[in-house]
Amino acid sequence: MPLWIPITIFAAFAQNLRFMLQRHLKTTELSTGGATLSRFLFSFPLVALIVVIYSTLRDLDLPGTNLRFWFAALTGGLAQILATMCVVALFAHRSFAIGITFKKTEVMLTALVGLIVLGETVSFNGLVAIAIGFAGVLLLSDPPKTEDTPTGWTRFFNRAAGLGIASGALFGVSAVGYRAASLSLPSDDVFLRASMTLAVVTAAQTLALASWLALRERGEVTRVIRSWRVSSLVGLTSMLGSLGWFTAFTLQNAAYVKALGQIELVFSFLASWLIFKESTTTREGLGVALLVVSVLLIVLAFA
């Protein structure tokens, strides 16, 4: 079995734990921006320490950076900040499982971004999978029926759907950016390239988001620090998941990695059912089923 497969599965599991913790922070203590900052603030020191320890133990010099690295890494980092904020904001509109499923449009959109930026093509079977996945997204974007339920196209093109699809597109940009950044480093050591890229990205994300919150949401950075008991766990799971994603992106096409990463859907629905006690409608179940079919077809197409 190729190494990137178990690494990706581990990354998806760790990421699901991180979103569960962020959901708790968003609903109990912090704003969307604060819950997003928690993943970066408490993870970048750990990643930097890992880079130092690993390079020292392996007696490796840190690879030199270049303009391509900085552009790709910083673009990916900004896209990831915006994508994470979209997902956290989405939790206020739909259940945890449906929120994560909306996010999974990133698989389809990563393939598109990879084609545009890196010239990585998608097969005919991949295109069929994308179409099936889009049908699933349309079903999931139809909000629960209430007295205030909108009619017409607004049932599908609504705020929840927009946040979900926006997060998918932005996560696609970040994945391709991280792959491009890691591949641009002159080193034969895959883990060193991946961890160094992650260290640079998380440091830049922490500085950028903390500065923005200091200007726009006074006191929120302090509240993030005060919530360290949960926020530190967010940082730990974020670091573990990100190391997995970055290593997998270095080893394999980002679209392939994101396709396999759809296994996170299984983890998120188990969490939604067992932990958050949230129910799923028949329509939402059908939408998820279509996305699962899309996942399987993408995996087969990329195998």
Of 138, 142, 112, 140, the residue nearest 126 (C-alpha): 112
CB of 236 closer than 8 Å to CB of 39 = no
Cα angle for residues 164, 84, 214 (degrees, 5° grid): 130
Tell me which residue has tokens 């930097």: 48
How far is it, in rounded angstroms, from Cα 154 to Cα 161?
A: 10
pLDDT at 151: 53
Phi, psi of 122 (to 5 degrees): -120, 135
Q: Which residues contact 230 (CB under 8 A, 6 or more apart)?
A: 21, 24, 25, 29, 38
pLDDT at 286: 81
Share of the chain above pLDDT 70, in %: 75
- Convert the pLDDT of each residue in 97-136 to its tens digit: 566 666 667 776 776 777 776 666 667 776 777 677 767 7
Of 34, 27, 130, the residue nearest 84 (C-alpha): 34
How far is it, in rounded angstroms, from Cα 233 to Cα 213?
A: 21
Share of the chain above pLDDT 90, in %: 20
Residue 145, SS3 per DSSP: coil
For residue 303, pLDDT beyond 80 = no
For residue 168, pLDDT beyond 90 = no
Cα torsion at 41, 20, 171, 297 (round to 10°)?
A: 150
How far is it, in rounded angstroms, from Cα 46 to Cα 240?
A: 10
In the chain, how many H helices and how many E strands? 14, 0
For residue 39, pLDDT beyond 90 = no
pLDDT at 211: 93
> Of the given ranges (17-31, 201-215, 224-238, 261-275), which has the lowest mean pLDDT?
261-275
How far is it, in rounded angstroms, from Cα 135 to Cα 269?
A: 19
- Convert the pLDDT of each residue in 282-291 to its tens digit: 776 787 777 7
CB atoms within 10 A of CB 250: 25
CB of 73 closer than 8 Å to CB of 125 = no
Domain of 136, in residue numbers: 4-302
Residue 42: pLDDT band with limits 50, 70, 90:
confident
Q: Which two tokens stand for residue 58?
A: 């392996």
What's CA 55's distance to the chain center, in Å?
27
Number of structural domains (the chain) is: 1
CB of 102 closer than 8 Å to CB of 167 = yes
pLDDT at 129: 73
The alpha carbon dihedral of 75, 79, 287, 240 has a sign of positive
Mean pLDDT (the chain, rounded):
79
Q: Which two tokens stand for residue 187?
A: 């080193």
pLDDT at 227: 85
Phi, psi of 80 (to 5 degrees): -70, -40
For residue 235, pLDDT beyond 80 = yes
CA atoms within 13 A on the CB side of 16: 25
Residue 147: pLDDT band with limits 50, 70, 90:
very low
